[in-house]
Each structure stands twice: as structure tokens, then as C-alpha cells.
Amino acid sequence: MRAMLLKKSSLLLTILMLSTTLFGCAVGTTRSRGLEEAGANKLIVELENGQKISEIEKILGNVNIAQLQGGRYIISSNDSEEELEQRLSAMKGIRRIQKPRNIGIIRPITKIKVGKDFIIDNLSQTNDIEANDPGVKSQWAVSYTNANHVWPLVEQKETIYVAIVDTGVDYTHPDLKNRVDLGKGYDFINNDSDPMDDNGHGTHISGIIAAEMNNGEGIVGVAGTLDVRIIPIKVLDSEGYGQSDIVAKGIEYAVDQGANIINLSLGGPGEDVDIANAVRYASEKGVLVVAASGNDNQNSDSYTPAGLENVYTVGAINPLKTKARFSNYGNSVEAVAPGVKILSAVPGNQYEAWDGTSMAAPVVSGIASIMLAQKPDIDVDELVAILNESAEDILEEGKDQKSGYGLPNAEKAWQLLTGEETPPAEEEAMYNSLQEAIGAASKLKIQQNDVNSLMVSSNNTDSGSERRSELSDLIEEGSKYKEENEEQIVEWKKEFKENQEINKQYMQEIYEGLKTLKPLLEQFQDGYKQGALELTSKELNQIQQEIEKLESYQAYVKTRSEERQKMWDEMAQMFSEGNYEEAMAMFPDILEAQKALTKNLELLLNEINELTKLFEGVLD
């Protein structure tokens, strides 16, 4: 996967007294299988000089001991921490390593309750998912990854198991009751076989992956109709908190229960040897481990489990296909997936839309489960290579720190996996949809005044005062307020202006390109109607796909232009009200939106040129 292994810290050789801020959560009271009741003091140790753990247990007496990966043991006792330390220090052949670390879920940024209509504000309600589940209209994560295009093509070989190592799962939920393998689950918090979710996080993740399709309830999972089962493993309590040794045991347990994929939407900054060892154990057993990058807008390379070797780390994007503001970044990020307004199940037979990389990771877990359903014996490294190679490159060319290899595309991944193309439509259906696509493409308009007006400007007024939108004016006011940012402001202004000029050039080229393409579209349409063109289904399918790309890129350009302008207006309003610091804080996001617009203008221009060549060849 990637050769980025967290360095072992010498601090692990000493007693680690970890603060609750290390993983952004409070201490949770937990029990591992075979350990004493919640509240027992625990230490993680290694043995030296051939010492046997059975001898240690005899000498210590009232303790319980559980083994971890890497020859490490958890010693649990009802003695006070000081008493346990004194007893251990008096023994030979035993070395204390650390106390278990505090760990928690990667908490959602926002949660939106949805009504029976499943409508989510400011989210498109149209996609091409065909199902009788009422919430599918708001499931942009499924359509953006083309998962629904692959469901009918998969020839499933065996049941695929995805372990959700989290807060448990509400296995009574209507969309999950037939998708959870309760017999394989376990609750490491209460030390029993009932991993019921009393938080909601694990249920939401499970629904994203495997919510039952065509049951007339709620939503569909990314795995659609395929036989993908959830293994619920509860390692975090009702507040979403737990300890690293329990998480490690949960990961190992998932492997031993036959999980094909383990989803880890938990963790935080810092390293943990036990979790690293457990992940390594999973990798050695051929299990794909998918982790959320984190919601701190920080580098995830130093996070656990996101920064570990043998983990497929996923960041989050918004519907504009730009990095979600909260999403972590770094060399550890392999891919990004939808992570804003992601609709899924929550306990109590309800549904909510959440934001977070915790929601993005299970999208990838779901896509991976589709691939494994088709080819369960595929090597994990080969599966990862297919996911990366087939991903849509959405930001910088090639792998980058914000989006990794890009947005996973289930359809392209399936084609790489099987060596087959998705089948073309029947001739009549092809003709009808092609005519519709050509008609829509013929309406594509970019006028010269659109090119000339690309530079940001606004004469809107608010509260009776003119809102100035010239960049130099706005930033000048900000620089007066915060002179220490002057160097950064100058750099922003320069970068923004250069990017504007690039965008304007792209718009001019698009304008010229459409003047060449449209007559070819009309000529092709007339020739096809009259039967003067002899084309194969494959050629027709290619033309339709390219036209659909043209439409989608045009839509992206429009959406991102509107998004950028909306952000600009908000910033201008803040400046006009004297909120300079808030306004200045928005500018990096505006610059990011501007760059995203550039990327989409480039894609639109390339598609216009590609279609022009295609039609010239067909009409020659």
C-alpha cells in the first residue's frame, strides 16, 4: 500500500500518562474479553529473558491477563495503579510499556435529521439509482461512485463480511436487520455477545455500506443487492469513547471471525503500537483495513490508525468534488469519498445525514465489498491497486495529499477487475437516450459576455450600503486590520489573480471550441435520424458516454461557479460589516474553490475537444 510506517517512539519504553486531548476524547470505562470489570487498572507489558506469562499470573495472583499481538500482554487488576506498579517493579523478566490509550470515534461535524420525504436542503434530489427505497434520491455518495451501475453485473461467489469496529450496530433497524451477522459480533465494552449500538455512529456507518435495497424502507447501501454482511464489534461506549487495547482486540477478533474488510472510523493524533500490531495482523491474514483520515483539517500521517502502513485511508469530499473543509490530508490519504450530508440509518428506526470522514470511509468499504463479491480470492494489494487506478482524479494530477488517487469509481474498478466493459444498451433504448443527450448537449451555451464577466464582481447591496467585491479593495481593508498577515495576503492576491487569468483563458477556449462542436452535433443528429450513418452499438455507446461527460462537466462548472460566488459574497458582506478576521479566514476556501473551478473548466475543454475529434472521425 504505502511505505509510510510510523516511527516507534522511545516514550513507549516508559510509562505513558496520556491526556484526554491526545485522541480528542474523554476516558471511557471498558473491558476486554477475559478482563476484570470496568474500572480495573490496566498495564501493557512485555516479557524478557524467557519469562512465561503463566508464571507471572501465578505470582501476581488477583489479576487477569489477555494477550495482544506482538508478544504483548494486558495485565488487569483491581489493585490501585500504584500497588500494581509496585508489584510489577519487584519482578524480574517483565517490562512495563504503557497504559492503554484513550481513543474515540471520529465525530461527525454536523448531523441533520431528515423527515419522511428524505429531502436534505441544498442537496440535489436527482440521480440514476433505481430502487423503491424512498431515501435514494438523496444518496449522492452511491451515484457519484457509480456503485449502482455495477450491482447487476456482479456474479457473486460468496458472502462478503465487513467488520464495523466501532460503537456497535442497531441490528433491529429495518434497513439492517437482514444485513447483520449477529452470531459473529461481540461487545468488548460489556463483555457479552450483544453488540447493540447505544451511540449511533456504528449504525450510521453500517447503513452506508449495507442498508437493505428494495425493501421500501429508507435507503440503499453502497453494496446494493449483493450479499454483504456486517460483523458488529463494539469497542467504544455510548459516548463514543474507548481504549486502544480494546480497539486492538476488536480488530484481531474481526480477523478471526472471517472479516474480509475492517472499517475503522475512529482514532486520532499520535501512535499506538497495539493498534499498529493488530492492523499488521489483519494485513498478514489478507484483510483490507479501511480507515477515516480524521476531521481536524490536519495532516493524518501522524494519526492512528489513519497514518499506519497497511491501512487504506480515506478523506472526505463535498458534492462539488473538492476537499471537505474538515477533512484531514497527507501522504497517508489513498482516496477521498463523499463525506458531506451522507444519509444513513441511526438507532430508533430513524435516518440522519452526517458530515465526516467517518462517513467517507464506509463508502470505500462498500465499493471494496462489491469487488470482493466478484472475486473473493483477490490479493489485498491487487484490490488496492485496482481501487487507485480506477479512481477519478479530481484535484491535482496524480496522487496528491488532499485527495490521494481521487474518487473511487466502482464501474471502472469492476472493468479492471474483470477485464470486461459494461454492456451497451439495446439499440432502441440507445437511440432514444442518444437523441436526448444530443439535444441536451446542443443547448450548451457559453457566450462571449460569460467569458468577459468571469472576473469576480458584484454590485449587490446589503443593509443599504454597497458591497465592494474588488479583490484589492477587500484585502486592503483586511490588511489594515491585521498587518501581520500582509505577506500571506500578497501571496493570496497573486495566486488568485493568476488563477483568474487561467480560468478566463479556459472560458475563451471553451467558447471557441463550442462554436466548432455544435455544427458537428447537428450534422451527426441529422445523419443519424436519416439512417445515413452506419455505427456499431459500441460506437453509439462511446458517443453517448462522451456527451454525458460533457453535460456533467458543464454542470460541475456551473455549480462550482455559483459556490465560489456565494462564498465571495459572504466574505464581502463580512468585510462590509467590519468582521475582517472572519472574512480573512474564508479566503483560503475561496481560493480552493477557484482552483476547483479551474480543474472543471479544464475537464470541460478537454471533453469538447475529445467530442469534436470523435464526431469529425464519424462524419468523415
Tell me which residues are annotated as active site.
166, 201, 358
Parallel/antiparallel/unpaired status of strands 333-338 and 303-304: unpaired
Please give the helix or strand (H or E) that residue 244 lies within, else none: helix 244-256
3-class state of residue 174 by DSSP: coil
From the list 309, 320, 328, the residue with the least C-alpha distance to 144 is 320
Contact 314, 306 (CB under 8 A): no
For residues 414 and 404, what is the distance between their CA atoms, to the nearest angstrom? 20
Q: Are 590 and 597 in contact (CB under 8 A)?
A: no
Contact 175, 211 (CB under 8 A): yes
Q: Phi then psi for 318, rounded to 5 degrees?
A: -100, 180
Distance CA 486, CA 386 (A): 45
For residue 92 the three cell numbers come to: 524480574
Torsion from C-alpha of 417, 375, 289, 149, nearest 10 degrees? 60
Question: How far is residue 165 from each of residues 2, 34, 157, 178, 226, measured CA to CA in Å?
Answer: 23, 19, 25, 19, 21
Nearest to 99 by CA among 20, 194, 197: 20
Q: Cα(286)–Cα(280) distance, rounded to whole angstroms? A: 10
How far apart are alpha carbons 607 and 547 in whole angstroms?
Answer: 8
Instruction: Name the one residue in this structure whose C-alpha cell is 455544435.
Output: 518
Going by C-beta distance under 8 Å and a sequence separation of 6 or more, which residues neighbour residue 306? Answer: 267, 291, 292, 293, 294, 300, 313, 328, 332
State CA 608 to chain mean position distance. 30
Q: 107: Cβ–Cβ under 8 A, 6 or more apart, which residues?
A: 24, 240, 295, 356, 358
Q: Within the chain, what is the greatest distance between any pair of CA atoms?
A: 95
Q: At what angle do helices 357-374 and 380-390 cross, to 10 degrees?
A: 110
d(CA 314, CA 306): 8
In angstroms, the CA 298 to CA 330 distance is 8
Amino acid at 529: K
Find the helix or strand (DSSP H, E) in which 516 lies: helix 486-529
